[in-house]
Amino acid sequence: MTARERLVCAVAALAIGGGAAAWAGDRAADTGAPAPAGERVLEAVEGLREDHVHVSDDARAMLGEEDEQRIADLIAERDLPVHVVVWQDSWFAGHDHYIQALDQIVARLDEPALVVLWQGSDHSYATTTTGWTVDRYSPDWGAATEEPSYLGDAALRLPEWLEALPEDPLTRLESDSGGSTGTGIAAGVALGLPAVLGAWVLIGMVRALSGRRFRNRPA
């Protein structure tokens, strides 16, 4: 192999290696741990572990202590896997978006749950623990909804919603165990094909710079 060929191989190897490293970094970022939670989220998690309801100090105008206790008692009486967080929406609460904050709360709960974040009519949201969902179209749900109406008073809307929920509002998502082999094959192809194409391009570059041509094999 000439000096020019070795140089081409080195440059191509660096390019392919850099691309692979970048791809691996992206994959690690996708599957890595969530961003550290701020104090507001951690306080909410501690409050939910006590009685499934957390109301921050700045949200007492939306839900007073007596109404908070009423909601906690209703959840306990029906043994519902529901958690309720009430706080004021804020751009300076240590998270980029309130949905991110809710995801951080859900990820730190020790049990499957349907969690409601009440911030008023415009920026409220509900979600479930990973691996679980709500089957809104199940006959057990009747006229119930997967999240409360956020229009109006939290002290009225939250109990109405809780009372209408079925006894077991959560449904476990079925894992695709039969598709694991197919998924593995697809991943293997996705990983192997770029390497094969890269090697083919590398060989072509070396031959082109060295003046060699690919030999046509007889049919």
Phi then psi dihedrals of residue 86, to 5 deg:
-125, 120
CATH 3.40.50 given to domain 39-172: no
Q: What is the pLDDT of residue 27?
A: 46
Instruction: Indicate if the pLDDT at residue 212 is higher than 50.
Output: yes
Residue 158 pLDDT grade (very low, low, confident, very high; cuts 50, 70, 90) = very high
pLDDT tens-digit readout, 70-87: 999 999 999 999 999 999
Instruction: Indicate if the pLDDT at residue 198 is higher than 80.
Output: no
Burial 114-130 (b: 16+ CB within 10 A, else e): bbbbbbeeeebbbbbbe
Query: Is 0.85 surpassed by the pTM of this model?
Result: no
Residue 189 pLDDT grade (very low, low, confident, very high; cuts 50, 70, 90) = very low
Domains of the chain, residue spans? 3-32+177-210, 39-172
pLDDT tens-digit readout, 18-48: 554 454 445 444 445 556 788 999 999 999 9
Q: What average pLDDT score do residues 11-19 get?
A: 50
